[in-house]
Amino acid sequence: MVGGGGVRLAPESVVRQHEFFLALDARQDQRNLKAEAIVSIASAIELDWLEAMFPQEIRREREAVYDESRDRVVGRGRTFYRDLLVREDKDASVDAQTASRVLIEWAHPRVAELLRDDQGAQPWRARVSLLARAMPDAGLPGDVDSLARQALESAATDKRSLAGLRSALLPGMLDLLPYLLQRLIDTEAPQTIAVPTGNRIKLDYAPQSDESRITPPVLAVRLQELFGWTETPRIAGGRVPVRLHLLGPNFRPVQITDDLRSFWSTTYFQVRKDLRVRYPKHSWPEDPLNAKPEAKGSRRRQQ
């Protein structure tokens, strides 16, 4: 009802199907004022009558919101008679400028979440964060989330959905960085590293969650591909050694190390002893530093 509260049509009421009606005889139970009033006499009316006869009592509101369930900005229009909501449009049209503004307002406090869920942006964010710690004098942004917030306005231009915003967010962040910094990220925190077989293996960068130390990226690679490689690869101008997950033929780590030379001189011989019988099609040379790296298993040579 206007003014609040609810009503229920009595069984004897002739009015049954109309959405709006005047309650001519609404009786409230004085013992329970929160209960609905019972209306035994009502008169059906049309909404247009209210708009024509009482235009001063009609109030219209219009807003644009981001609808997560549909992943797009939608317009919502509402019409009130006094304080009673009488009409609502949940899918009104929204102009491009308004849609961009709404997306920015919705996304601004959720930037970290958007980057974390974006398969393209999250690794880049982790790479920049690592370099900012390892090379503090390079001028890289220490707060990547802040950089993303700066990029929101350009990324949201002509966008109506979060999917569209996400696709433009990383390019927008790159545009805010000078070219030399973009090159620094690519060279000192590369996405892949070439191993002795010639294959390029992806580096897995983790978020820098521990303030007291740098979390190095992980290179998971089959042991046979590293024959002849004596030194652990390093990034960030040589300041951060890569953490190697040396994989056996079953692609499970047989050793985790950031000191490859030490592995070859000590642990490798125990690994060789344990696995050469189980995996005879793979090479297990006595001198791995002078052996030919192999990308795939091959029949063991006589040694």
What pLDDT is attached to residue 26?
A: 87
- The reported pLDDT for the residue numbered 290 is 94
User: What pLDDT is recorded for position 92?
Assistant: 84
- Backbone phi and psi for residue 136, each to the nearest 5 degrees, phi listed first: -65, -20
Sign of the torsion angle spanned by Cα atoms 193, 169, 143, 115: negative
Do residues 163 and 103 make contact, with C-beta atoms less than 8 angstroms apart?
no
* Residue whose tokens read 């521990």: 210
- The number of angstroms, rounded, from the C-alpha of 208 to the middle of its chain's C-alpha atoms is 17
Residue written as token pair 């130390």: 213
DSSP for 238-295, written as a single string: TTEEPEEEEE-TTSSEEEEES-HHHIIIIIHHHHHHHHTTT-TTS---S-TTSSPP-S
Q: What tokens does 100 get?
A: 């961009």
| DSSP string over 177-216 | S-HHHHHHHHHHS-SEEE-TTS-EEEEEPPP---TTS---
Rounded Cα distance, 224 and 289, in Å: 11
Cβ neighbourhood burial of 211 (10 Å; 0-12, 13-18, 19+): exposed
The whole-angstrom separation of Cα 48 and Cα 200 is 70
Report pLDDT for 41.
92
Ranges of the chain whose pLDDT falls below 70? 33, 297-303
Query: Residue 177: what pLDDT?
Result: 95
Strand partners, 269: none
Q: What is the pLDDT of residue 297?
A: 53
The pLDDT value given to residue 60: 92
- pLDDT at residue 16, rounded to an integer: 85
Q: At 10, which amino acid appears?
A: A
pTM check: above 0.75: no
pLDDT of residue 34: 73
Token digits for 237?
């101008």
- CA of 254: how far to CAs of 63, 223, 232, 245, 272, in Å? 59, 9, 16, 8, 10
225 in Cβ contact with 195 (< 8 Å): yes
Pick from 266, 268, 264, 240: nearest CA to 254: 268
Q: How far apart are CA 194 and CA 225, in angstroms?
A: 10
The predicted pLDDT at position 33 comes to: 66
Answer for the pair 100, 156: CB distance below 8 angstroms, yes or no: yes
* pLDDT the model gives residue 224: 96
**According to the model, what pLDDT value does residue 210 have?**
82
